[in-house]
Structure 1
Amino acid sequence: MSEVKYVRAFYKTGVYIAELLDRQEEKQRALVKVLAVLKHPTQGDLHNPKMVDVPLFHQRKALAQFEKTWVPLSSLKAYEGELLDYQFSLKQATEALRQSLIEDDSDWARKSLEKLEECTAEYSF
């Protein structure tokens, strides 16, 4: 992956198209710059998936355009597809998550939808 410029980067529960900026083999991590969103992060407690009765039900926003973050090397895959516009991709990923939550009739889905709507209110689309 040393000659790869663009990657699919998995960060927490989101998936992004990113530019690979740096690799640290000894620490098994890579620095990436976010270019687009493929999958919006899941709402709620990552340690207790699909549970509502948790100490803190997290709101999880997508990483921002051009935000840089360290990700595990194991979470990277080469990306050779079309580069997407960040705002368009964020809107698509948000809508895909919204639709899946609407189709799920659980308490967790309702709470997640509420948190997703809070995120959406802060996005500029």
Structure 2
Amino acid sequence: MNELGAMTEIVKMSYKTGDYVGEVIERDDRRLLVKVLAVLQHPTQGDLHSSYDPDAAMFHERRALSYTEKVWVPIQTAQPYTGAIPEYRETLQTALGIEMERMDRLKRWSERCMEQLESLRKDYGM
């Protein structure tokens, strides 16, 4: 057996742009079927190919995987998880809050940049 070979396999895994804790239900040579138990990082919103572009043609809304939702993931995206399994709803709320704080910080950074650029425009005499 490999390092994910325990009877009840609990893993940390990435799926699309989110990170989760889940239980391995099934496996084959390349992938694992994982039942989601907790959210560690909420998926990123928007077009991943046009980062930070609010006018992208396809601005995607990405929902976190649901509690007990089953997804196939490549084996290499999963690692053993040995900690206590947190409660799903609490982890979803925390992950969403962290992502919202990150976006608020980015918004405030952008606004501050615009203030500096306006100041520079005046300084340049434009």
- Same-fold call, TM cutoff 0.5: yes
SS in 2 for 1:37: strand
* 1:102 shift after superposition: 0.5
TM-score (norm 2): 0.78
What is the match of residue 51 of structure 2? Answer: 49
Number of matched pairs: 105
The sequence identity of aligned pairs, in percent, is: 40
Find runs of 4+ consecutive structure 1 residues off by over 2 angstroms: 46-53
The 1-side partners of 2:12 and 2:47 are apart by 23
1:17 is the counterpart of 2:17: no
Residue of 1, 5, 25 corresponding to 1:2: 5
Unpaired stretches in structure 2, ≥5 consecutive residues: 112-126
* 1:96 shift after superposition: 0.6
SS in 2 for 1:100: helix
TM-score (norm 1): 0.79
The 2-side partners of 1:50 and 1:30 are apart by 32
1:38-97 per-residue CA deviation (whole Å, 9 max, x = no partner) reads 000000112333222321100101000000001111100110011110000000000011
CA RMSD between the two structures: 1.5
What is the match of residue 122 of structure 2? Answer: none
- Matched to 2:5, the amino acid is S
The 1-side partners of 2:48 and 2:24 are apart by 26
